[in-house]
Structure 1
């Protein structure tokens, strides 16, 4: 189906690479007006962990477009280390990069999501919010993504009276520039991931973008507060 998002205004954070870029490209192909936000190489260059900077940029977007129909919070940052090796600063930076980054953008976009009357917020939890992957030092990441899952359910409740739907996608292991670095540093990681997957392959950003496109479209108008696993079946057994 073409033009599934025709006429919709979409903001995608983390749009410069990975899942965010995949969503931004697919949304544009499906007819949306897409504004990508990232620290560099984006339509709007913004540090999404600077409260005032986020407020100013979203206020400008609100004046420019009048509403936001789709908000995709794909920007994220995490440190990966075992508990004995992780310091408190890394823990706090990860929780900020997983949780605060979603809170600040969503809060800033909220008036313009309400102005839409039929908006969709798409956040990213993770397979790591449901299970621990052997061999993966993802303690802070697991905590952050579990928080996103809980936060999004609350947003679904708060947004419902305003026609705002909020859902999470929980990706499994997706090939991005960041995850390729993990694979390069730990050759055993891919073997461990694929052993857990029912489908014997790693995911690509497009695998997530297709799900996000559906959640952003009117086809999902009765879906809110949901978490959709796109993880090759890793969390299903």
Structure 2
């Protein structure tokens, strides 16, 4: 990742924050993006204290104007965009499909699907001007298999994989690689809050994991770093499951 300029969305916590740490340890310059300014500001400060090159920009990926400004900020600061980790996403309150509100469905699709769509459009335009690059989109094991009472989330993460494949095929000849990550159960603020409120859900999730544990965010971030790097130069259109064997069952 040495000397690469990398944009990370959803960088304020969880996998995105871990990616910022992993990418900078491997030599990248990072631009951190997310809806909440405070965690981005704190993380940027910590990275700089450790000698990394980092900056941040507040952006809601569901807003096309925000995404345009986010990419323009990256270009104005660094002159180019080498890689992007489109990691921003939201979950959904678990309830049966026929009882799910339209507003919940729209919110999940706006962030998880339209958000990736917005990012791809502007990131690809920047990379075309630069002669190529690498993009990684965060899907989920829910983009590979279904679970119950989470239909909007499952649909959104399947859509991310479809967008990834379409972009990979369309821009391969232009030197732009596009891949997806499919993380399994991963420790994050959102997951920890859910398990605190629903201890039985944590026990059930761990029982369904072959390794009998959740991933640490850094373990998923390492996979993202590999896909973004030149070490994965012949990998495009792929979905890499980082799930401790969950989808092998």
TM bucket normalised to smaller: over 0.9
Check if 1:23 corresponds to 2:19: yes
Measured after TM superposition, the shift of residue 68 of structure 1 is 0.8
2:46 corresponds to:
none
Which structure dedicates a bigger proportion of its chain to helix?
Answer: 2
Tell me the TM-score normalized by structure 2: 0.89
1:173 corresponds to:
185
SS at match of 1:96: helix
1:74 corresponds to:
87
> 1:15-164 counterparts in 2 under 5 A?
15-39=11-35, 40=37, 41-42=39-40, 43-82=56-95, 83-133=97-147, 137-164=149-176
Check if 1:228 corresponds to 2:240: yes
Q: Which digits, 9 at most, give the CA deviation of each residue in 1:91-128, with x for residues without a partner?
A: 11111111011111221222222233341100011111
SS at match of 2:60: coil
Check if 1:10 corresponds to 2:10: no
Number of corresponding residues: 231
Contact 1:66 1:112 in 2 (8 A): no
Distance 2:146 2:182 in 1: 14
More displaced stretch, 110-119 vs 65-74: 110-119
Measured after TM superposition, the shift of residue 34 of structure 1 is 0.3
> In angstroms, what is the RMSD of aligned CA positions?
1.4
Distance 1:50 1:97 in 2: 9
Distance 1:229 1:33 in 2: 26
Unaligned stretches of 5+ residues in structure 1: none
SS at match of 1:12: strand
Distance 1:88 1:62 in 2: 37
